Amino acid sequence: MKTRMILLITALFCLAAFAATDAQKAENAALKAAKILGWPQSTVIPEDAPGSAYLISSDGKGDDSEIRGYVTASGNPLEIAYNYQILDLFGMEKTKYQGRDARVFKAGKDCNPTGLTKALNEMFVGWIESIFGESDDPDKNCVTLHGTIVWSCRNYMFMATDETDEGGNEADVAAALYAAAQEEGLCDYGDTLVILAQAGNKPGSKKIAEFEKIAQKTNEYYAKNSYGKEAFTYTFLDADGSAGNNDWYTVGASQAGFDHQGYAEAAVKKAFAGTSMPQDLTFKRIIVVYSGSSKQADSANGVFSTADQWGDNSYSIEVAGSDRVAKVYTTDLIIVAENDEMGLWAHEIGHSIYSKYAVYDKWNHVADRYNYVDAWGQHGTIGSWGLMGTGNWWGTPLATNPVQMSSFTKESAGWLSYADIKLNETYTATAIESKKLGDTTYRLDDPESNDAKSYYLIEARDSSGTYSAPESGTVMYKVSYDGTNKHYVVNMIGPQTGLTEKNDTTKFEYPYGRATLHGAGAPDGATIYRNVPGKFRITLETETSAPYTSTFKVEEYIPRSLVGAALNPGRPLVAPPSGVVITANSLGPMPDLDLHAYDDRGGHVGLDYQTWQYENTISDAVASGDLKDDQEWIYVPEGTNVRFEVSSYKTQQFLARNPSFASSAKPQEYASTLLKVDSQGRQFEADGGSGSIGNGQTAQLKSPSDASLTYSEKNNPGFVGNSVCPLMPFIALFLLGMFAAKRIRLV
């Protein structure tokens, strides 16, 4: 397809009308990119393009070279837009490169070409068949595409292409062009500033191009995850310029003595020191890459956690420019480790995205969906089912293929909306990996609460493709609101039957919690979720694949003749810090209290700390599963000789991995409730008392038959707005009000 490439190049540069200074900047950037790549220091004017285009090549052969880069200066943005229209005719994919408008061809065989690429191929095949007769080659309509990246900023356009059989070099060429363009001032500052910062005792080893690739992968992730809504424009600062060999700024003799904020501020001050600063600068986020590994990945040697520190709009860093003291403003100071992969970048950048739900009643940022590595936040956990849980670690190697955000986070960011569920109806769910911007995901009102911030979410998830879910299935979450600390608590609900944990080492080296509902029609499937205190059940009826969809039914469920217990956790293990540093998560158990039930036959309901499966070996028992920072409950048939117990084993495991918290860790508080359901389905509850438990200890709760307990009937608010006939409660209240008003007038 050499002809296609010639036409593509001609189209790209055919309209250029430029000023001499712009042309000189374009050529300087091309030469600088050639030097970065180690190519011959010369440019040529492409054969089919005017003098505004400057071509560099790997072997100095110009148009005849298989690996090439181009820089051109165009007259105005309208010409850039027109050029993109021409590229679209060739069927190039619309995307972003480092947050800038871009078009790409991905190397490989394409048997469904579009646009002019298809037309040219059909013309060529028709000409061949007119000479040699009709071909029976099944691949005759296929074309071999060579890796090509075209992007633009201001009035400049750039192209990187690799026509070798191996391919893949276009990414390196594009990265060199991007670095050169920034250094020559061809592009404005982006919304995201990236600085590499090392300490004297821990020098950085990776080149800036490695982080440019990670940044580009992060944008590719968000293009899919946010349905095209989010992209970030990056500006990378190079300590000694593109021609040098050291891309890292040195901020001190040692990382020791710095906190997260201090290290990031020192990096910004160093990067701008002595530079021309005619005006203050504002970035949405500043990413500082620190040398070495994070505390999450290497607790023994890591000094810093990978983290994002939130600031308000007035926060700034003063820098000493060559002519004035200037201010650099940002609301997010992100620090990532040199050895962090893209999943950690995507996670921390996620914290800088706007959320409609404020955290701590102050910060409108996307929040974590797990308990912080620093042991103080109580936000529940969704495990591997979202980027803001532990899904950022997915991939082999770790964190190279993170899962998408959960529906709660996507709705909070404005990419999806909620559709409310009614009882006794069947619904079809499309996997969130296949949805479009503005689509809906399902919400079920929490019948135990009259708080609109308490509800359940039901989402379908697809395990196929990149940035996919751990497995295909239908996942449920319990959502509540911590009114004291002003944030949401979100828990993924595990399956109530079968294995609750699974390990697929082809995707991830650690086990993950299985989808709540999965395996419709399979003998080992988990197809029913029963909620005893809420009196509802959800049944998975059918599933399809490629793409994954599911149908499920929500029904009223009346349990009978049961006894049980509920456990409510108290304050966190350690007190919150004074500043807000949102650290990335670590793998392994976090501080938590668990509820267990044991019968006199050796049956057990609760987490098995050897296998990490949630067991249920008591006949006809029903349980909430392992929830974090929210109520857990277990019911067993009436008449069962049962003992309920609280365990803080997971807290002990956390402190063993993080001994620095051991001295400040407090006993964890809890409150308990004992429960009964009679033969008519009426529910009763009694205060079981409160207590505290030391790390790694167990405590026995009162028996449901304890003579000291006083039971009262439990009346739930019901499905507010989600009942079969939502007008009936309103009508009843209206009539009651009319009757009361009439009585008042008679008096």
Alpha helices by DSSP H, listed for 226-297, are 260-272
- pLDDT band (50, 70, 90) for residue 79: confident
pLDDT at 157 over 70: yes
Strand partners, 553: 426, 539
* CA atoms in the 13 A half-sphere facing the CB of 350: 35
Single-letter residue type at 490: V
By the 10 Å C-beta count (0-12 exposed, 13-18 middle, 19+ buried), 293 is classed as buried
The predicted pLDDT at position 123 comes to 79
Contact criterion met (CB below 8 Å) for 274 and 253: no
- The closest of 83, 213, 229 to 159, measured between CA atoms, is 83
pLDDT at 591 over 60: yes
pLDDT at 516 over 60: yes
pLDDT tens digits along 206-237: 999 899 999 999 999 999 999 999 999 999 99
How far apart CA 267 and CA 261 sit, in angstroms, is 10
Least trusted range by pLDDT, from 546-560, 660-674, 676-690: 660-674
pLDDT tens digits along 99-115: 888 999 888 887 877 77
Contact criterion met (CB below 8 Å) for 365 and 317: no
The predicted pLDDT at position 729 comes to 42
pLDDT at 82 over 60: yes
- pLDDT band (50, 70, 90) for residue 479: very high
Single-letter residue type at 641: N
How far apart CA 305 and CA 582 sit, in angstroms, is 9
pLDDT tens digits along 710-723: 999 998 888 875 43
The predicted pLDDT at position 302 comes to 87
Percentage of the residues of the chain whose pLDDT score is greater than 90: 64
The predicted pLDDT at position 574 comes to 74
Q: Which residue has the higher pLDDT, 153 or 473?
A: 473
SS3 101: strand
- pLDDT band (50, 70, 90) for residue 735: very low
Structure tokens at 300: 């023994």
How far apart CA 405 and CA 467 sit, in angstroms, is 10
pLDDT at 51 over 60: no
pLDDT tens digits along 323-348: 899 999 999 999 999 999 999 999 99
Contact criterion met (CB below 8 Å) for 457 and 430: no
Single-letter residue type at 128: I
Least trusted range by pLDDT, from 236-240, 315-319, 407-411: 236-240
- pLDDT band (50, 70, 90) for residue 5: low
Across the chain, mean pLDDT equals 88
Contact criterion met (CB below 8 Å) for 457 and 570: no
Structure tokens at 553: 């039914």
pLDDT at 684 over 80: yes
Contact criterion met (CB below 8 Å) for 728 and 720: no
pLDDT at 374 over 80: no
pLDDT at 498 over 70: yes
Mean pLDDT for the stretch of residues 353-358: 95
The predicted pLDDT at position 40 comes to 95
pLDDT at 439 over 80: yes
Contact criterion met (CB below 8 Å) for 552 and 520: no
Three-class HEC string of 682-738: CEEEEEEEEEEECCCCEEECCCCCCCCCCCEECCCCCCCCCCCCCHHHHHHHHHHHH
pLDDT at 657 over 70: yes
Mean pLDDT for the stretch of residues 189-215: 95
How far apart CA 289 and CA 341 sit, in angstroms, is 12
- pLDDT band (50, 70, 90) for residue 166: confident
Pairing of the two strands 285-290 and 332-337: parallel
The predicted pLDDT at position 354 comes to 96
pLDDT tens digits along 298-311: 878 889 989 999 98
Q: Which residue has the higher pLDDT, 45 or 447?
A: 447
SS3 36: helix
SS3 503: coil
Percentage of the residues of the chain whose pLDDT score is greater than 70: 90
- pLDDT band (50, 70, 90) for residue 388: very high
Phi and psi at 476, nearest 5°, equal -115, 150
pLDDT at 15 over 70: no
The predicted pLDDT at position 63 comes to 86
The predicted pLDDT at position 545 comes to 93
Q: Name the helix (H) or strand (E) containing 22.
A: helix 20-37
What's the start-to-end Cα distance of the chain, in Å? 94
Single-letter residue type at 29: A
The predicted pLDDT at position 747 comes to 25
pLDDT at 370 over 80: no
The predicted pLDDT at position 78 comes to 79
Q: Which residues contact 301 (CB under 8 A, 6 or more apart)?
A: 292, 293
pLDDT at 623 over 70: yes
The predicted pLDDT at position 296 comes to 83
- pLDDT band (50, 70, 90) for residue 48: low
Phi and psi at 109, nearest 5°, equal -85, 130
The predicted pLDDT at position 738 comes to 41
Q: Which residue has the higher pLDDT, 396 or 296?
A: 396
Residue 452's CB is within 10 A of a number of other CB atoms, namely 11
pLDDT at 365 over 90: yes
The predicted pLDDT at position 45 comes to 82
- pLDDT band (50, 70, 90) for residue 465: confident
Q: Which residue has the higher pLDDT, 112 or 566?
A: 566
Please state, in angstroms and as integers, the Cα–Cα distance from residue 691 to each residue in 23, 58, 644, 649, 713, following that order: 75, 71, 14, 16, 24
- pLDDT band (50, 70, 90) for residue 20: low
Mean pLDDT for the stretch of residues 552-565: 97
Is the CA virtual torsion 429, 435, 439, 445 positive or negative?
Answer: positive
Least trusted range by pLDDT, from 296-310, 346-360, 516-530: 296-310
Please state, in angstroms and as integers, the Cα–Cα distance from residue 370 to each residue in 357, 377, 389, following that order: 16, 8, 5
| Residue located via tokens 């190279």 | 400
pLDDT at 11 over 70: no
Q: How large is the C-alpha radius of gyration of the chain?
A: 30
pLDDT at 564 over 90: yes
Mean pLDDT for the stretch of residues 74-98: 83
Query: Is it true that the peptide bond before 278 is cis, omega within 30 degrees of 0?
Result: no
